[in-house]
Structure 1
Amino acid sequence: MSKNLSMITKNIGRKLKKHSPEILTGIGIAGMISATVMAVRATPKALQNIEHEKKEQNVTKLPLIEMAKCTWKSYIPSAVTIIVSSVCLVGASTVSFKRNTALATAYAMTEATLKSYQEKVVETIGEKKADAIKTKVVKEKMDSNPINNKEVIITTKGDTLCYDSVSGRYFKSDIDTIKKIVNELNRRMLSESYISLNDFYYELGLSFTKMGDQLGWNIDRGLIDISYVPLLADDGNPCLAMEYTVSPEYDYC
């Protein structure tokens, strides 16, 4: 009896050890999603704290540092969840290199979006201005990849300067062409079930990327959905930034 129990325990231990990267990865991704939800739910309370502090000080606007002081506690749960999730993702680093590259990219996108969201919520007082916040976040992404340091890819598919927020590339196209490509790929997804990020890049006239085959969309998780944000590049030229409303995911096929 004890021998059988020992064997069962050892088998369970071996299986847990064998699949620990997948388990840790699942926990990490779930934690990141939970952290985002927690941060969104914490926002109304944070805004209430700001309004309360404004009344206490009898002012119409608080300095940024004062806003941070009265709102940071609201985001402690989401911050702790991010830390724990990060530890889980780091612990899963024994998975194959390509897998880790895609996961790290998806994790970085989630973390960066959450961080930017929290910072901009503090700056935006009153009504929830989702579009204004989104524009600021996309602009910061563009500013971190200035066009002066990048090659503008000529695709022969339009003359409008465009920016891909995932790969950080600038290219020439136009909004009608991109919308047509998205519609066509969504039509294909209805019959093929999934589309890779590289499939999208190919139709745009862009070269493949290492993460392009590891990330993509699955019909079970929604169609490709992109928002188009008109901005000015750092050189002063108008630029159409593509922001993925439905982000490409790992393990999409």
Structure 2
Amino acid sequence: MTAVATAKAIKMRGEMRREDERKLTGRDVVRIAGVYLPAVSIGAATVSCIVGANILNRRSQAALASAYALVDQSFRQYREKLKELCGDDELHNRIMEEIAIENADESVVLYANGLCSQYCLTTGDYCGTPRLFYDAYGDRYFEATSEHVISAEYHLNRNYALRGNAMLNEFYEFLGLNRTEYGDQVGWCIDDYSEIFWIDFDHRETTLKDGRKCVIIEAVIDPSTDWQEIL
């Protein structure tokens, strides 16, 4: 539209000069500039739409973050109350095992060939052999060796100890898994109150409906959005 307006303005300018061979007046300039009004209007509308979309996107992200924080807080309260009523995490562990079994899908198996962390994951006869794992936070299954998982957990804790914080997506990268949208929003952070200087992982083996053995990976201290507030 600017190109069309420019051609029209040049034509108008030439016609005005030929009328009485005089210089253009201020009124003439205003008339010529008027042909650019549609282009300016559309440009202004475009900028307004971009700014408005950006504002709405930020509001949407803030709303999602607030909603996740509420769900995260509710889940932690539920888990603490469950432990208080039952005396230990046995019921929670049984629930997680049932979820892993129900969600099992033989066609959805990823292969991890990255690095990982530590904590007692018995290798036994699985030493060097890929086995099936269930990611409790990403709700997905993947195959990896026990050594890979142990290495990923170690490297996550190394970052945690050196930097004072770690994101969930870091753990996924060490495992060789795809990052998740929420993985940058939740994590762990060392603070003066919790004094948690190491992220322990719980590894529980369960049997799926098809008879396959599966190891559920879950941090003893769940990742939380609170870690960003501490930083």
Give the TM-score of the pair, scaled to structure 1.
0.51
Q: Distance in 1 between matches of 2:166 and 2:80?
A: 28
Q: Distance in 1 between matches of 2:224 and 2:84?
A: 26
Q: Distance in 2 between matches of 1:216 and 1:118?
A: 22
Q: Distance in 2 between matches of 1:186 and 1:98?
A: 29
Please state how far the C-alpha of 1:143 moved relative to its aligned partner.
3.7
Pair 1:145-2:119 in alignment: no
**Percentage of identical aligned residues:** 26
* Shift in CA distance, 96/219, structure 1 to aligned 2, threshold 3 Å: farther
Find the counterpart in structure 2 of residue 156 from structure 1: 113
Pair 1:98-2:69 in alignment: no
Any idea what the Cα deviations from partners look like across 1:53-108, whole Å, max 9, x if unmatched? xxxxxxxxxxxxxxxxxxxxxxxxxxxxxxxxxxxxxxxxx984334434544544
Whether the aligned pair in 2 keeps the contact of 1:217 and 1:249 (CA below 8 Å) is yes
Please state how far the C-alpha of 1:225 moved relative to its aligned partner.
2.0
Structure with the higher helix share, 1 or 2: 1
* Shift in CA distance, 114/218, structure 1 to aligned 2, threshold 3 Å: closer
Give 2:92's aligned amino acid: K
Q: Distance in 2 between matches of 1:234 and 1:116?
A: 26
> Aligned ranges for residues 1-253 of structure 1 at < 5 Å?
96-105=59-68, 107-108=70-71, 111=74, 128=87, 130-148=88-106, 151-156=108-113, 159-220=130-191, 221=194, 222=196, 223-253=198-228
Q: Distance in 2 between matches of 1:119 and 1:189?
A: 28
Task: Find the structure with the greater CA-based Rg.
Answer: 2
Give 1:186's aligned amino acid: N
Give the TM-score of the pair, scaled to structure 2.
0.55
Whether the aligned pair in 2 keeps the contact of 1:101 and 1:211 (CA below 8 Å) is no
Please state how far the C-alpha of 1:202 moved relative to its aligned partner.
0.5
* Shift in CA distance, 206/230, structure 1 to aligned 2, threshold 3 Å: same
Paired residue total: 154
* Shift in CA distance, 120/247, structure 1 to aligned 2, threshold 3 Å: closer
Structure 2 stretches lacking a partner, 5+ long:
1-56, 115-128
Whether the aligned pair in 2 keeps the contact of 1:117 and 1:133 (CA below 8 Å) is no
Q: Distance in 2 between matches of 1:115 and 1:228?
A: 21
Structure 1 stretches lacking a partner, 5+ long:
1-93
Secondary structure of the residue that 2:138 maps to in structure 1? Answer: coil
* Shift in CA distance, 119/197, structure 1 to aligned 2, threshold 3 Å: closer
Whether the aligned pair in 1 keeps the contact of 2:130 and 2:146 (CA below 8 Å) is no
* Shift in CA distance, 120/189, structure 1 to aligned 2, threshold 3 Å: closer
Secondary structure of the residue that 1:135 maps to in structure 2? Answer: helix
RMSD: 3.1
